[in-house]
Amino acid sequence: MKVLVIEDAPDVVEAIRLGFALQWREVDVLGAERGEEGVDMVESERPDLVLLDIGLPDIDGYEVLREIRAFSDVPVIMLTARDDTFDKVKGLELGADDYVTKPFDHLELLARIRAVLRRLDMPAPRSRAPSFRSRDLEIHFDTREVRVRGEPVDLTPTEYKLLYHLVRNAGRVLTHGTLLAKVWGREYIDEVDYLRVYIRRLRDKLDDEPEHPRYIETERGLGYRFIVER
């Protein structure tokens, strides 16, 4: 496995390298000190995962992430310093998979990396009913195809999983903690921001409006419910 670290602080890169050498030997660590170099390396080296610092000498981590997401779905974990004015929601909206605050403990970093990789690896949930329909929305579970008014909707694996669990429990409120545990994993049950960002994205893609929802209803302070058509 190949991990690309985009970070200009040599001590941080060295600590990460050492941590992998001690705990996870099959990982090759590549380094880029500048943002543009990092983007090029994502393209040329095709890493399995990227650790991306926010403060870089040329362009900042958000811009790097934006450029990476223009051509790649590689999992990205942002590295942030405690005194950075890191905007978690902005990072998630740009497509970061997770973030870790520096100085981090190496075991904590490894746990985050494993959680992100496990999430991508999880097979799509299976359903006995082959498809689901509600108003203009159609889901075919075997092919994971989602359509709105007959037009295919392109969902990321995480967006699909979120929709799947909402639909399978249509009519019932799923709490923030339940959804986070089902979709992201138990370590994430307090990360309500993740859920908000993804629900917003899902609504956009399904052409749903939070004020007059047709599919996903917010239960303020509690969770979300997929609306059963009457």
Overall residue count recorded for the chain in this entry: 230
Q: Which residues in the 43-72 window bind Ca ion by CB under 5 A?
A: 53, 55
- List the one residue from 8, 28, 48, 60 that touches Ca ion (CB under 5 A): 8
57: nearest Cα among 44, 38, 43: 38
By CB under 5 A, how many residues form the interface with Ca ion? 3
Sign of the alpha-carbon dihedral angle for 152, 154, 159, 164: positive
In the complex, the smallest distance separating the C-beta of residue 78 from Ca ion, rounded to whole angstroms, is 12
Using rule CB under 5 A, residue 157 touches Ca ion: no
Which residue stretch of 7-15, 155-163, 173-181, 189-197 sits at the interface with Ca ion (rule: CB under 5 A)?
A: 7-15
3 state SS of 127: coil
Select 8 or 48, whichever has its Cβ closest to Ca ion.
8
Give the contact letters, 90-129, x = binds to Ca ion (CB under 5 A), - = no: ----------------------------------------
Nearest distance in Å: CB 55, Ca ion:
4
Q: Which among 5-13, 60-68, 96-104, 199-207 is the span making contact with Ca ion, rule CB under 5 A?
A: 5-13
CB of 20 to Ca ion, least distance (A): 19
**Cα–Cα distance, 92 to 196 (Å, whole number):** 10
Half-sphere exposure of 125 (CA within 13 A, CB side): 16
Neighbours of 52 (CB within 10 A): 27
Q: Which is nearer to Ca ion, 55 or 185 (CB)?
A: 55
Q: How far is the CB of 9 from Ca ion (least distance, A)?
A: 5
Pairing of strands 2-6, 28-32: parallel
Whether 6 and 64 have beta carbons less than 8 Å apart is answered as yes
- The type of residue at 107 is L
- What residues line the site for Ca ion (CB under 5 A)? 8, 53, 55
